[in-house]
Each structure stands twice: as C-alpha cells, then as structure tokens.
C-alpha cells in the first residue's frame, strides 16, 4: 500500500473508533444495553490500537510492543482479581495511569529539540501536561486513601496559599516553555514544570476527606479526558481529541451529579476540608439504643406486608450481600413485598451499591433510587438498615450544625419499625452521631452483617420447618 492509502486506512479506522466509543457510551447509559456498550467501545479500542502500528515513520516497535504487553498483563490481572468493594480505588488507579500517559506524550513533545513548535499546539501540550500530571498524582493519593494506605487528612495553616503559589509557579514555567523558549526549554526546566504539577496534584488531594473521594476521582476522570483531548490536538489525532473531550464533558457532568447527590458543591469538596470539624459541636442525643435479636427481627419481617432494605458500605465490607439476598428470597417466597432503597452515595460512590447488589444476583428492578422510594417508607412495616449510617441520619434534615445538614437521606425513620444492623456503636464515615439509633421505633441488631443475615435466614427457615 502507498503511504497515502495507509493514512486513509488509519484515519478511517480512527473515525470508526470515535463512532464506536460514542455508541458504546450511549449503550452504557441504560441498564438493559450496558453490557453490550463496553463490548462496542472495546472493539473501537482494539481497532485503533492495531492500525496505529501501521502509522508512517514510526520506529521503536519492540519497545512499543513490550510496554503494551507488560501493561496489559498487569492491568488484566489486577482488574480481574480486585474485589467489587475496592472498585472505586481501582478506577482511580487506572484513571491516574491515563493522566500519566497524557503527561508523558506532552513530555516527549516538549523534549524534542529538533522539531519546530507552533504556539497553539504548544499551549495545549502544556495545559494537557498540567492537567494530566495533576490527575496522575491526585488519583494515586485518592487510591491510597480509599485503599486505607493513607489515613486521615493532612493539613497545615496557609495550605491553600502554598497550593495557589505552587500552581501559579507551575503555570509560569509552562508559559516560559511556550512563549519564551518556544518549546526548546532545557530538560531541567521541563522536569521542574512536571514536578510542580505533580506535587500540586498531591497537595490538592491530601486535605480532602475519604467521604468526598468519589467526587474527586470523578473530577480527575474528567481531567484525564481533557488532557487526552489536548494531547490529541498536539498529535493531530482526531480519535484522541473526540474521545478525550467526550470523557472530559461527560466526566464533568458526572462529577456535578455526584456532588449534587451528596449535597456538596465541587468547589466545596476541593477547598473546604469536610470532616475536619463538626464532632465538637453536636448536641446531646436523648434516649437509649435498644438492642434486638436477629431472629426476632427476622420473624417480624417474615410476617410483614412490606419491607424496605437500606444497605450501606458496611454490608459490602462484611461480604453479606449474598446472604442478604438469600434472606430476601425467603421473604419474597412468603409473600412479603421487599424493596431495596439505594441512597445516591451508598457504598463509596454513586451506583457502587447497585453493583454490589447486582453481584449478589439481586435483580435491578427490585432496587429503587432515593427519590423513587422515599415516600414509601411510611407504608413500610419494617425498614432494615444494614451497614449504613450517614445516609439514614435524620440530623441531615433537622440539625443545622451537622456537617451532613442538607444532604438528602432515606426516610427509614418513617417506617413503623426500624432495625439497624450494625457492628458496634461507632459513628458513620462523616463522624457524626446518628439520632435514628435512639428513636422510639428503632432497634439495633449488633453483629457482623453476614452473621446477622445467617441468623435471620435460620430463624425464618426454622419457622417454615415447624409447620
């Protein structure tokens, strides 16, 4: 084939890839077609990767192949064995890699001394480098925090001033590379530029609490998309430009939706140190926590008309979702109407709990979003809260001094009877005391969620056996 034909083949393939990506993402936005969506997008990726080997004027093929093989094996292996509960941090890790790759493309461009650099591509290369580098180091911190490798938050006075100065200094070095050095800055200056952006990503993420991490990961996902789009222009590659910008805007919207679900603004998440204060200014809660036996709770649910389940991250940590669904099937067989009520931030990020329930085989038409089910709690005989805390805390409605004030919550307290399955007397992720646990219609079932579910299953089964 002549070089012109090869170019045409490559361009046509990239076009097909862009179409497949958009089509795949579209299908991924509905539960019925979601599974096929990722397959279409995957096909697009495969096509683009294969034709890129035909790209004219390339060398270093052994290096390219080696890097792809190693990266593929490691990512495949880690992606296959990661637990569903650890999904958010895994997404953060893969996302950071994408940001790093975008940064690496920019670095190779900026280090190439013999090329003639034009201003517009240089600006985009530098911007993409900053955004990609922040996404890389920030995502690594987000991963480490969600994975429990870094605990707590890290703050010092004047932190935001230090961050601001560092950010401006990084941009200033970037401006020097573009407008003064015209893309021929020395490697030391390029290294300082990337170093500044990477350190800024770390400093920006360190003060943010674990509860806000999903919003941050989503933001960095959008960042990486944007960086990829910018580097796509530098390389004159429309596939990167389109895919990157689609993810950049979709990721931004997703970030806003998540922040809204948590009743936080994005700037609030990034600049306001959530969870640092709050626990010192809470009023005393009156009443006592009343314990209950798992078997009693199970039998009451067996004879109820309507039961609503509000699961939280604790359910997943205890790996109790399979046992829970086994119990639910017993209830359904006994004629009880059972629904799952999912708070937007149940689990560690929006939609995470749905994934965990789906893993246990719970059909998605038993699962309801907060807006769809909140009015039904007052008709429910029993609401059972398993491993959730902040998402059912009435303080979000009433207590203005509470850090979670204003967040929409599940109205479990309106059910006739509330059971809360809980490991101990600890507080939720936000560190806020929960007055629901002291309410008159609430009883606490203490214990590991999985053991509690097993006890509940046995209680219902022994009832059936006694007939």
Partner 1 sequence: MTGMVALYIFMLAAFTGYEVISRVPVILHTPLMSGSNFVHGIVLVGAMVALGHADTTLEKTIGFIGVLLAAGNAVGGYVVTERMLEMFKSSGSRGGRETH
Q: Which residues are catalytic?
A: 390
Q: How far apart are CA 328 and CA 334, in angstroms?
A: 10
Q: Which residues ranging from 402 to 431 are in contact with partner 1 (CB under 8 A)? A: none
Q: Which residues ranging from 189 to 248 are in contact with partner 1 (CB under 8 A)? A: 217-218, 221, 224-225, 228-229, 231-233, 235-248
Q: Which residues ranging from 330 to 349 are in contact with partner 1 (CB under 8 A)? A: 342, 344, 347, 349
Stretch of 29-37, 272-280, 305-313, 427-435 contacting partner 1, by CB under 8 A: 29-37
Provide the minimum distance between the beta carbon of 319 and partner 1 in the complex, in angstroms, as a whole number: 15
Provide the mask over 160-199, with x wherever binding to partner 1 is found by CB under 8 A and - wherever it is not: ---------------------------x------------
258 touching partner 1, by CB under 8 A: yes
Stretch of 25-33, 151-159, 391-399, 402-410 contacting partner 1, by CB under 8 A: 25-33
Provide the minimum distance between the beta carbon of 442 and partner 1 in the complex, in angstroms, as a whole number: 26
Q: Which residues ranging from 297 to 336 are in contact with partner 1 (CB under 8 A)? A: 329
Stretch of 170-178, 251-259, 271-279, 447-455 contacting partner 1, by CB under 8 A: 251-259
Q: What residues contact residue 109 under an 8 Å CB cut-off, 6+ apart? A: 115, 117, 125, 183, 234
53 touching partner 1, by CB under 8 A: yes
Q: Which residues ranging from 103 to 132 are in contact with partner 1 (CB under 8 A)? A: 103-105, 107-109, 111-112, 114, 120
The 417-422 sheet, strands edge to edge = 367-369, 337-342, 306-311, 382-386, 417-422, 442-446
Provide the minimum distance between the beta carbon of 12 and partner 1 in the complex, in angstroms, as a whole number: 14
Q: How far apart are CA 219 and CA 455, in angstroms?
A: 42
Provide the minimum distance between the beta carbon of 183 and partner 1 in the complex, in angstroms, as a whole number: 14
42 touching partner 1, by CB under 8 A: yes
Comparing CB distances to partner 1, the nearer of 343 and 422 is 343
Stretch of 81-89, 140-148, 315-323, 412-420 contacting partner 1, by CB under 8 A: 81-89
Provide the minimum distance between the beta carbon of 389 and partner 1 in the complex, in angstroms, as a whole number: 20
Q: How far apart are CA 440 and CA 438, in angstroms?
A: 7
Q: What residues contact residue 307 under an 8 Å CB cut-off, 6+ apart? A: 301, 331, 336, 337, 338, 339, 380, 381, 382, 383, 384
257 touching partner 1, by CB under 8 A: yes
Provide the minimum distance between the beta carbon of 59 and partner 1 in the complex, in angstroms, as a whole number: 6
Provide the minimum distance between the beta carbon of 405 and partner 1 in the complex, in angstroms, as a whole number: 22
Q: How far apart are CA 323 and CA 325, in angstroms?
A: 5
Comparing CB distances to partner 1, the nearer of 103 and 174 is 103
Q: Which residues ranging from 352 to 391 are in contact with partner 1 (CB under 8 A)? A: 352, 354-355, 358-359, 361, 363-367, 369
Candidates 6, 16, 84, 171; binder of partner 1 (CB under 8 A) is 84
Comparing CB distances to partner 1, the nearer of 367 and 459 is 367
292 touching partner 1, by CB under 8 A: no
């Amino acid at each position: 084939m002549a070089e012109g034909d090869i170019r045409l083949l490559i361009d046509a393939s990239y076009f097909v890839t862009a179409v497949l990506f958009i089509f795949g993402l579209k299908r991924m936005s509905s539960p019925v077609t979601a599974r096929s969506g990722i397959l279409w997008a995957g096909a697009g990726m495969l096509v683009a990767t294969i034709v890129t080997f035909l790209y004219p004027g390339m060398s270093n093929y052994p290096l390219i192949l080696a890097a792809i093989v190693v990266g593929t094996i490691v990512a495949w292996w880690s992606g296959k064995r990661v637990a569903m509960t650890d999904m958010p941090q895994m997404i953060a890790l893969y996302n950071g890699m994408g940001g790093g790759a975008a940064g690496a493309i920019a670095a190779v461009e900026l280090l190439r001394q013999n090329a003639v650099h034009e201003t517009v591509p240089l600006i985009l290369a530098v911007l993409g480098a900053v955004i990609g580098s922040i996404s890389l180091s920030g995502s690594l911190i987000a991963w480490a925090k969600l994975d429990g490798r870094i605990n707590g938050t890290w703050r010092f006075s004047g932190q935001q001033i230090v961050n601001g100065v560092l950010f401006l200094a990084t941009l200033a070095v970037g401006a020097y590379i573009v407008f003064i050095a015209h893309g021929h800055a020395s490697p030391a200056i390029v290294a300082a530029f990337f170093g500044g952006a990477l350190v800024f990503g770390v400093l920006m993420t360190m003060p943010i609490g674990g509860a806000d991490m999903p919003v941050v990961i989503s933001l960095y996902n959008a960042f990486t998309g944007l960086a990829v789009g910018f580097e796509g222009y530098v390389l004159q590659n429309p596939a990167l430009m389109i895919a990157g910008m689609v993810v950049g805007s979709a990721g931004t919207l997703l970030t806003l939706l998540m922040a809204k679900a948590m009743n936080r603004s994005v700037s609030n998440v990034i600049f306001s140190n959530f969870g640092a204060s709050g626990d010192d200014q809470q009023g005393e809660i009156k009443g006592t926590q009343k314990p209950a036996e798992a078997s009693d709770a199970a039998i009451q649910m067996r004879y109820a008309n309507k039961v609503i389940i509000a699961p939280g991250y604790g359910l997943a940590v205890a790996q109790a979702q399979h046992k829970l669904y086994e119990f639910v099937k017993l209830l359904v067989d006994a004629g009880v109407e059972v629904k799952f009520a999912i708070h937007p931030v149940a689990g560690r990020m929006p939609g995470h709990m749905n994934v965990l329930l789906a893993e246990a085989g719970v059909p998605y038409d038993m699962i309801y979003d907060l807006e769809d089910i909140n009015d039904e709690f007052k008709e429910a005989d029993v609401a059972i809260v398993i491993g959730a805390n902040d998402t059912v805390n009435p303080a979000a409605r009433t207590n203005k001094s509470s850090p979670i004030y204003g967040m929409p919550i599940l109205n479990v307290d309106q059910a006739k009877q509330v059971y809360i399955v809980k490991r101990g007397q600890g507080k939720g992720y936000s560190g806020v005391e929960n007055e629901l646990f002291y309410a008159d219609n609430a009883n606490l079932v203490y214990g590991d969620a999985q053991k509690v579910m097993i006890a509940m299953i046995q209680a219902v089964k022994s009832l059936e056996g006694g007939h």
